[in-house]
Amino acid sequence: MNAGFLSYSSLDVPGIVAWLRERREQFDIVYVSGDTDSFAPPRTDQGISLLRELISLDVDIMFTTRMVFTDSHLGMLQQICQDLRARGHYLFGCVSVAQLSLPHLEPPPIAPPKLRLAQLCSFKERGLISVLAARPFLPNVPPLEMVAIVQAVEHCVDVVLGEVWYTDAQGKMERRVFQGDTPSNVVYIRGPMDFDINKANWKIYEANDTRQRVEEYCAQRGIPFFMRSRPAVEWIRANGPRKPDRKEVPFK
């Protein structure tokens, strides 16, 4: 814990579902995410088991991953999706991709961006709401590179999510991202996370140029773009999934 972050409490799948069931009136969606990928080995089967058990809560479910699932796992996700749709709910599958040319930002064993982007098409084919989590917008990833990430999956993505970059005041994350000192031209504001109850004073990189480029590209292609998950969920609930583009898929 030398990074200065608090540890998380741990529950097994029945414990998580029981905890949520006790608070069922407080939410209408469950978001399976976290600082450590809930679906990365050796947790893949456990993560999918959690999704399956969450069906009983009768809510929409969203998950984020950088894991590339096997065909067997994709089949399980398809069945979970079908069971949720039978109850009138959606399974949102978010795949995180933050770069194409700076692999140190997403080092092994994280799969290459091309494989993760292709998985969004697999999600779409199996009925999931396919969500590109092109986030966070990092200051050393050019805006046009983030646009290229969207362009690679514009034919099979339902929603694109961006996000500002929150980095610790001590600069530990910055040194890993920049592989050294932070460039002098990188501009931050300071403040708390606006989506979390922690009161830490974070350095916040807003990436307004990147956001504008990605937002404009999505608008041109008719892809809903948001900087938060909640409005994305509300958009899908109101409008349903995008119709898939029938043009040739570049990953096949």
SS3 sequence of 81-116: HHHHHHCCCCEEEEEECCCCCCHHHCCCCCCCHHHH
Whether residue 122 sits in one domain with residue 195 = no
Whether residue 50 sits in one domain with residue 172 = no
* Any domain includes 71: yes
Whether residue 195 sits in one domain with residue 96 = no
Residue 178, classed as helix, strand or coil, is helix
Place of tokens 């005041």: 169
Q: 2-39: per-residue pLDDT in tens?
A: 344 455 567 899 999 999 999 999 999 999 987 789 99
Average pLDDT value for the chain? 92
Residues 6 or more apart whose Cβ sits within 8 Å of residue 160: 131, 132, 134, 150, 214, 218, 223, 224, 225, 226
Whether residue 87 sits in one domain with residue 31 = yes
Whether residue 178 sits in one domain with residue 84 = no
Q: 234-246: per-residue pLDDT in tens?
A: 999 999 999 876 5
* Any domain includes 61: yes
- The percentage of the chain sitting over the pLDDT mark of 70, rounded to a whole number, equals 93
Task: Report the pLDDT averaged over residues 68-94.
Answer: 98
* Any domain includes 36: yes
* Any domain includes 4: no
- Cα–Cα distance measured from residue 208 to residue 139, given in angstroms and rounded to the nearest whole number: 10
Structure tokens at 23: 């608070």
Q: 186-207: per-residue pLDDT in tens?
A: 989 999 888 777 778 899 999 9
Whether residue 195 sits in one domain with residue 81 = no
The whole-number pLDDT of residue 5 equals 47
- Residues of the domain holding 152: 14-164+207-239
Task: Report the pLDDT averaged over residues 47-61.
Answer: 98
The whole-number pLDDT of residue 68 equals 97
Among residues 240, 231, 250, 223, the alpha carbon closest in space to that of 154 is found at 223
The whole-number pLDDT of residue 35 equals 72
Q: 159-193: per-residue pLDDT in tens?
A: 999 999 999 988 999 999 999 999 999 989 999 88
* Any domain includes 9: no
* Any domain includes 250: no
Predicted model pTM: 0.91
* Any domain includes 46: yes
Here the CATH number for the domain that contains residue 213 is: 3.80.30.30
Whether residue 139 sits in one domain with residue 50 = yes
Whether residue 24 sits in one domain with residue 55 = yes
- Cα–Cα distance measured from residue 135 to residue 94, given in angstroms and rounded to the nearest whole number: 11
Whether residue 221 sits in one domain with residue 172 = no
Write the single-letter amino acid at 13: V
* Any domain includes 248: no
Whether residue 212 sits in one domain with residue 97 = yes
Whether residue 199 sits in one domain with residue 215 = no
Whether residue 99 sits in one domain with residue 184 = no
As for how many domains the chain has, the answer is 2
